[in-house]
Amino acid sequence: MSKPSILVQLDTDPQPSVFDAVVAVDAGVGHLFRHGSVTAEDVRDLVYGALFTRGPADLHQTALFVGGSDVAAGEAVLKAVKATFFGPFRVSVLFDANGCNTTAAAAVLAAVEGAGGSLQGVAAAVLGGTGPVGQRVARLLLRLGARVVVGSRSLERAEAVAAALRAATGGACEAHSTSKPDELAHALQGVAVVVAAGAAKALLLPAVVRSALPELKVAIDLNAVPPLGIEGVEATDKRKERNGVLAWGALGVGGTKMKIHKKAVQELFTSNDKALDAEEVLEIGRSLG
């Protein structure tokens, strides 16, 4: 008989996420080991405990989840986790700090749907594109063949991100400043899909700018706290027509996000070598059909 499944929750916040824990339970995890305030320095001993306790036949029944509200802190933990693995001594790991991967995947799936089934050659823009969710959305849009504008108040940051994304994906990615209305309008010219991935309470796309974008077909706003990121889109919108544009709000993509998250946790236990980051999480989302 197989050993019970164990998920080790490595959370960088002092109180480990209840959200992630409930999803783990609902994904069918048998035992959840919850750790808060996890730093890269803590990782080795914690991961050794996962690696050295079960034999090869049962190792896929132990897995790791890296979370917490600070995506950069989570990435440091993830890096330390991967550095601890060696040879066959590895377990599967899902990275979803601040829900960044499941949110980005759900947003991109909405974009695919809104664009009629394919993003190949579609012009898209990501506002707040230099943050952890925005970067992931841009990366995934590029993977699916879109041409992507990374918008940010800081042109310098946008250019650095765009360069990194071009190098990573080989896709067509350019940077625009969006700090002034005319810059924003310029950045969005000809764009069919826009995703707002900025900080809470930051209005990224005013109605006056949006109404002057005749080619816009899809508007996705990942901010759930009013004022929302795209004026005229509601948090609960889910493929809602708003002035000829199909709109999704943060809660509107939330159902898909939850399904992806749950499925990704289950995927961890299918082998001991899964490393589920943005691309892998998107693939899981696409497989849900």
Q: How far apart (Å, rounded) are the C-alpha atoms in residues 50 and 186?
A: 51
Q: How far apart (Å, rounded) are the C-alpha atoms in residues 1 and 86?
A: 27
Distance of CA 101 to the CA centre of its chain: 2
Q: How far apart (Å, rounded) are the C-alpha atoms in residues 180 and 182?
A: 6
Where does this chain touch its own copies (CB under 8 A) — which range of 48-56, 118-126, 159-167, 280-288?
48-56
Do 267 and 102 contact (CB within 8 A), yes or no? no
103 near its own copies (CB under 8 A): no
23 near its own copies (CB under 8 A): yes
Half-sphere exposure of 52 (CA within 13 A, CB side): 8
Least distance in angstroms from the C-beta of 62 to its own copies: 7
119 near its own copies (CB under 8 A): no
88 near its own copies (CB under 8 A): no
Nearer to its own copies, 25 or 168 (CB): 25
Residue with tokens 């960044």: 100
200 near its own copies (CB under 8 A): no
CA-nearest of 111, 115, 129, 45 to 84 is: 45
Contacts 24+ apart (CB under 8 A), 157-165: 157/130, 158/129, 158/130, 160/130, 161/129, 161/130, 161/135, 165/135, 165/138, 165/139
Query: Residue 24 burial (CB < 10 Å; 0-12/13-18/19+)?
Result: buried
256 near its own copies (CB under 8 A): no
Least distance in angstroms from the C-beta of 93 to its own copies: 14
* Residue selected from 20, 96, 231, 234 as contacting its own copies according to rule CB under 8 A: 20
Where does this chain touch its own copies (CB under 8 A) — which range of 41-49, 209-217, 230-238, 267-275?
41-49
Least distance in angstroms from the C-beta of 284 to its own copies: 18
Where does this chain touch its own copies (CB under 8 A) — which range of 35-43, 132-140, 143-151, 152-160?
35-43
Do 184 and 205 contact (CB within 8 A), yes or no? yes
94 near its own copies (CB under 8 A): no
21 near its own copies (CB under 8 A): yes
26 near its own copies (CB under 8 A): yes
* Residue selected from 3, 217, 263, 286 as contacting its own copies according to rule CB under 8 A: 3
Query: Residue 241 burial (CB < 10 Å; 0-12/13-18/19+)?
Result: exposed
Residues that bind its own copies (CB under 8 A): 3-4, 6, 8, 13-15, 17-23, 25-26, 30-35, 37-38, 42, 45-50, 52-54, 62, 69, 254, 258
